[in-house]
Amino acid sequence: MTGAGKIAIIGAGAVGCYYGGRLAQYGHDVHFLMRSDYEVVMSGGLHITSPLGDADLRVAAHRSTAEIGLCDLVIVSLKATSNAALMELLPPLLHEGTVLVTLQNGLGNEEFLAKHFGAQRVLGGLCFVCINRTAPGRIQHIAQGRIHLGEHLRLPQPRTHVIAEVLRQSNIDCVVEASLAAARWKKLVWNIPFNGLSITAGGKNTAAILADPILEMRVRSLMTEITTTARAMGHEVPFELIDEMIERTRTMTEYRPSSLIDFETGHEVEIESIWGAPIMQAAAAGHAMPLVTHLYEELKVATQRATTPG
């Protein structure tokens, strides 16, 4: 792989539109699969507000992947709860050398893509970013934005560094990870407590969670359990990451995690990929996660109540 080539963005929410928009802004051939936002974006464009610079873009939007056609790089930013749809969405985009990069949350997404479309295609990217879709075609980037990029089940390849450099040249901070699995567990150290407690604590943003001493203590306990488990499974996740992540979260001010937004807007929360899959992976390796399991059960009750009529 010598360059990005033709790029498809599958999942045109906040993450897909922000990173795809940056790539388009810097001259790359980017094609967005859009449904609900299609008319708005076609008529008025895609708008990004960001401390790194605003962008008002005319982009190539499409209603189907068949309309997009074969691509060299496909960035998957759908919610993990929609993975089944990829069985129909991805085939029209794939030629022999097409690379798939999933920017989805949680565990199991690379495995899903590898199983159905070939492990040799698959990379994963972890987005450490505060970002929201505020209206159709409008993305608000609040803070951070680094992508940690790695290969599925192998060390970085030449293409890994090519993609990382393409991202960097598009005003996207990117680092290449020697172990994608370890990087996934590092992100879970943040995602599991903050996404989960934002729902179970009654709709609290990150600032409100850290302003409550009891909730902050629970955040730290969850982070410690996740880090301990990851290390027991052979992943290099340092305990120093806990303080680092909490202090970084204080700079986000009143950030509402994506799972809270999904919950409050009636969309399906990614319970299995963010909470269920880590519990299962740990159990398969002989490790229990009682604190994460308790939060997982709380979330299942909360989401079931939210979708139960009456």
Alpha-carbon distance values, 63 to 20, 60, 77 (Å): 16, 10, 16
- Of the candidates 79, 187, 204, 300, the residue annotated as catalytic is 187
> Which residue is it, tokens 């390796």?
285
3-class state of residue 235 by DSSP: coil
Cα separation, 175 vs 131, whole angstroms = 19
Q: What's the full length of the chain, in residues?
A: 310
Cα separation, 22 vs 29, whole angstroms = 11
Which residues contact residue 58 at a Cβ distance below 8 angstroms, ignoring those fewer than 6 apart?
45, 46
Which residue in 223, 244, 22, 243 sits closest to 131, CA to CA?
Answer: 22
Cα separation, 119 vs 203, whole angstroms = 38
3-class state of residue 212 by DSSP: coil
DSSP 265-294: TTPPP-HIIIIIHHHHHHHHTT---HHHHH
Distance linking the first and last C-alpha atoms of the chain:
55
186 flagged as catalytic: no
Which residue in 119, 117, 23, 8 sits closest to 70, CA to CA?
Answer: 8
Handedness of CA 122, 123, 126, 127 (dihedral sign): negative
Residues annotated as part of the active site: 187
